[in-house]
Structure 1
């Protein structure tokens, strides 16, 4: 089977390796130009394709007539997308004999759209997964062909969960591709009553509100931990990012955001207490709690914004 791959990052690498494992011909890889800060922690499907002398394209809009004609000239049997930011137009999908298929890192129909990796941690889901579905006009809404579940533990943060999802994709995709070629995968419509799309997150959504419970704040910190932008607070209008925290089940009568102790660094929340374990002043550093205390001259009774 001849495949056009539209993909990015490590999910794209997992797909390229899987397609080649089952012996399919990769006609071309369509991807996005990677930002330097992203490629510092994510593997590059562009680099992997270049190593294997597979043609690579980075169109700003893959749905223009010129790019649709380019894809059609590759004569794909199927188009496969993973972590690709552009929706495929009906004209583009029609260039592939079997159609176009997407691998989405959630258990569809739940958590359609972007930031699903972050949302499942923030919302305290106990599992997520990987779904293969046919691409339809509804984003992430096409019929499901296969799914695999992934457990979310209390120790998982965004990066560890990302790696679990990439690993699961790499493990499951070869069998799914063989089933797709053989026509043995049964498509089932998604239940729209169960569909959810929490929405894209922005860096400012990481602002810590100390009126929330320590559990809620801790999940936010885990959900947007490095290499994502991080959850942050302020001391006298100076921002710091909390990279790692711990929930302390300890009732108190203090205003949320009050520093209860500096060794360890305990912060009063709307319910219970949060210990700050690691923090930073920017995306590029990582302080211990003791270093943070020293930098800001923190003391008991001080109020965080």
Structure 2
């Protein structure tokens, strides 16, 4: 008899990991996902669409603690519960309905970066490596025993979106590699020492506000961490809001450093001076106005804020 699972999933990791379960012959009896938020930039794949293609029932409850959800899970009689980038914590009473265990795929190398948006936080903090971890679910978030991990590199100019693409592949590889032993009851359950890790909460668009008095590397990490398709790092200047969509940390001495911290324009482009005197070259600057965005040239930027140009 095939092992039966209920899958809570969303986003690209949810899509790929659901497909791994199906490819490995798991009987997915029910998929629980989210209704897409009309105010959110939906740049990722649809778990609901994948489930529909395979004839799997889909529900989108707003409350993971609802009696209706518990009844649906209980009726499916799952051997396993899997959570792949589902956005709600699942109550332990629900997890207990899986007779052979409940497991979550997390986008970091636990115990580091427990909690929300781990890829973005890893880039913000200048990490050179992250990854994906399959772990047992527990009452505390991302605190259960580690089943398997796969690391990926974070290169110096990677954006969070680029790193997330790698993490998605790492999640798929992790699940594919360990699933046979997990289904056979032979997978390792390794310690997850949360005292050696870290926990981070969610981020809001306002958290992308740039403080140009910070060191250039810190500013650049923020720009990379929230670059599109995320809301972006922004600054307000002359009554206008500008979002830095693409940038590059300049080599010391490559650009002027004798100017005050903030955005400046030259005949060749737009650049920023940071608190340590180091510069960032701005390759794409977007003007946000009345709910729309337009990419501005150096000349348009200078005109908008009526700033002098530097050669």
Report the TM-score when normalising by structure 2.
Answer: 0.91
Instruction: Determine the structure 2 residue equivalent to 1:287.
Output: 295
Distance in 2 (alpha carbons) for counterparts of 1:70 and 1:134:
22
2:248, 2:282 within 8 Å by CA — same for their partners in 1? Answer: yes
Within 5 Å, which residues of 2 pair with 1:106-117?
Answer: 106-117=108-119
Instruction: Determine the structure 2 residue equivalent to 1:225.
Output: 227
Instruction: Determine the structure 1 residue equivalent to 2:90.
Output: 88
Within 5 Å, which residues of 2 pair with 1:215-294?
Answer: 215-248=217-250, 249-250=252-253, 252-257=257-262, 259=264, 261-271=266-276, 272-282=278-288, 285=293, 287=295, 289-290=297-298, 292-293=300-301
1:4, 1:28 within 8 Å by CA — same for their partners in 2? Answer: yes
Instruction: Determine the structure 1 residue equivalent to 2:213.
Output: 211
Distance in 1 (alpha carbons) for counterparts of 2:51 and 2:77:
19
Cα deviation 1:244-299 (Å, max 9, x = unaligned): 11122237333211526352212221120111110212486452543652562553
Instruction: Determine the structure 2 residue equivalent to 1:135.
Output: 137
Matched, 1:296 2:301: no
Within 5 Å, which residues of 2 pair with 1:18-29?
Answer: 18-29=20-31
Question: Secondary structure of 2:70's match?
Answer: helix
Distance in 1 (alpha carbons) for counterparts of 2:27 and 2:302:
58
Distance in 1 (alpha carbons) for counterparts of 2:88 and 2:210:
31
2:41, 2:229 within 8 Å by CA — same for their partners in 1? Answer: no
Cα deviation 1:112-155 (Å, max 9, x = unaligned): 00021111111000000000100011111111111000100123
Question: Secondary structure of 1:281's match?
Answer: strand
Report the TM-score when normalising by structure 1.
Answer: 0.93
Distance 1:77 1:257, change over 3 A: same
Question: Secondary structure of 1:79's match?
Answer: strand
Within 5 Å, which residues of 2 pair with 1:125-164?
Answer: 125-164=127-166
2:145, 2:189 within 8 Å by CA — same for their partners in 1? Answer: yes
Question: Secondary structure of 2:199's match?
Answer: coil
Distance in 2 (alpha carbons) for counterparts of 1:262 and 1:246:
18
CA deviation after TM superposition for structure 1 residue 77, in Å: 0.4
Distance 1:8 1:258, change over 3 A: closer
Q: Please identify, of 286-295 and 268-277, the stretch whose mean Cα deviation from structure 2 is larger.
A: 286-295
CA RMSD of aligned residues (A): 2.0
2:81, 2:102 within 8 Å by CA — same for their partners in 1? Answer: yes
Question: Secondary structure of 2:18's match?
Answer: helix
Distance in 1 (alpha carbons) for counterparts of 2:32 and 2:303:
46
Between the two proteins, the alignment pairs up a number of residues equal to 302
Cα deviation 1:154-176 (Å, max 9, x = unaligned): 23101111111111222231222
1:127, 1:150 within 8 Å by CA — same for their partners in 2? Answer: yes
1:6, 1:84 within 8 Å by CA — same for their partners in 2? Answer: yes
CA deviation after TM superposition for structure 1 residue 78, in Å: 0.3
Q: Please identify, of 198-207 and 126-135, the stretch whose mean Cα deviation from structure 2 is larger.
A: 198-207
Instruction: Determine the structure 2 residue equivalent to 1:78.
Output: 80
Q: Please identify, of 85-94 and 26-35, the stretch whose mean Cα deviation from structure 2 is larger.
A: 85-94
1:10, 1:166 within 8 Å by CA — same for their partners in 2? Answer: yes
2:150, 2:173 within 8 Å by CA — same for their partners in 1? Answer: no
Distance in 2 (alpha carbons) for counterparts of 1:56 and 1:154:
40
